[in-house]
Amino acid sequence: MKSSDDILHLGGYPRVRMRRNRQHSWLRNLVAENHINVHDLVWPVFVQEGENLRTPVASMPKVSRFSIDVMVEEARQAAALGISAIALFPVVSQDKKTTQAQEAWNPDNLMCRAVRALKQAVPNIGIIGDVALDPYTSHGQDGLVEGELIVNDATVEVLCKQALALAHAGCDIVAPSDMMDGRIGAIRDALDADNQSHVLILAYAAKYSSSFYGPFRDAVGSASNLGKANKFTYQMNPANGEEAIREVALDLAEGADMVMVKPGMPYLDVLRHVSEHFSIPVFAYQVSGEYAMIMAAHENGWIDGRRAMLESLLCFKRAGATGVFTYAAKEIAQWLYDHAVKSAGLMK
């Protein structure tokens, strides 16, 4: 492969005119290095108790919490549009939150019932189950707390129970997002010992202690439980990039099938770094704060939300993402479908 310096020796302006490849929309599409496909999209969905409920999330425009029956119908539509997978996150009622998070491995908890309903009604869409304790703890932390410490090994034991409950319910992929040390290997061993070796593990390997998670915590109801506490002792320091490589390497050695970089847009350098170091599927998460900023700016007329959203997804792909978790997945899938239909009509 020739370097840019070698190419420049071949000639420059006026023989070389970079704008020639940008003259027409069909030409720009033809030479584009990256494209957004519906199969790149994973749709994060919030599930709540009740029936026929669709509760808007105030801090996330166009995002709602769904009761299981509504979620199933939404999932049918998503599958029809070609979305590959849904990532489920539960809105757990306060009376079921405890210091030890016992509800997390209840085989009849909200998540397990939602997974079973999805598997029965929409078997052709993948189901990714979040493995973390913060929706279930009365203190809002992803791990168990002793005194003022978030304890690692005791938390890992509980995460294994949670992962097994999700696997038994029918999850195709379990996704530990807690950032405890050693949890990937422990969950892999637990799944394999329980004849669940077919269940994949998506490790949130490079998950940063970010300010961009606020709307998510509102959506699942953990913000009030967490209060003024933080997650600095287990989520990664935003100042660190090389540390992400070590985290990913450890999770892969422990049996992860794919990894996550989270958040997305502010950490494109980390995403590129990981994708260049490892020949594995790497996902980016366009987190709630990123999504909310784009949508809020759109609603105020400051930017074109559709173009900004699609541009952000192209940035993830350009940086090396295999796929992207985005709350706009269903809407984007509809845009892509409508565009394809329109293009086909123009070609007749």
pLDDT at 6: 61
Asked if omega into 14 is within 30° of 0 (cis), the reply is yes
pLDDT at 185: 98
State yes or no: pLDDT of 1 exceeds 60. no
Q: What is the pTM of this model?
A: 0.92
**pLDDT by residue (tens digit) across 310-342?**
999 999 999 999 999 999 999 999 999 888 887
Asked whether the beta carbons of 36 and 310 are under 8 A apart, the reply is yes
Which residue in the list 97, 262, 317, 330 is annotated as catalytic?
262
Q: Please give the mean pLDDT across all residues of the chain.
A: 92
Which residue in the list 207, 231, 317, 330 is annotated as catalytic?
207
* Sheet strands (E) in 30-139: 41-48, 54-56, 64-67, 85-90, 126-131
**pLDDT by residue (tens digit) across 270-280?**
999 999 999 99
Share of the chain above pLDDT 90, in %: 80
Q: What DSSP string describes 236-260? A: BPTT-SHHHHHHHHHHHHTT-SEEE
**pLDDT by residue (tens digit) across 248-302?**
999 999 999 999 999 999 999 999 999 999 999 999 999 999 999 999 999 999 9
pLDDT at 347: 45
**Would residue 207 show up in a list of annotated catalytic residues for this protein?**
yes
**Would residue 2 show up in a list of annotated catalytic residues for this protein?**
no
> For 263, which DSSP code?
S
For range 39-57, the mean pLDDT = 96
For 285, half-sphere exposure in the C-beta direction (CA atoms, 13 angstrom radius) is 24
Burial class (CB in 10 A: 0-12, 13-18, 19+), 15: exposed
Q: Which domains does the chain have, with CATH numbers?
A: 37-347 (3.20.20.70)
Distance in angstroms (rounded) separating the CA atoms of residues 137 and 32: 46
Q: CA torsion angle for 156, 41, 279, 255 (degrees, to 10)?
A: 20
For range 127-155, the mean pLDDT = 94
Which residues, in sequence order, are CB contacts of 314 under 8 Å at separation 6+? 34, 35, 36
pLDDT at 47: 97
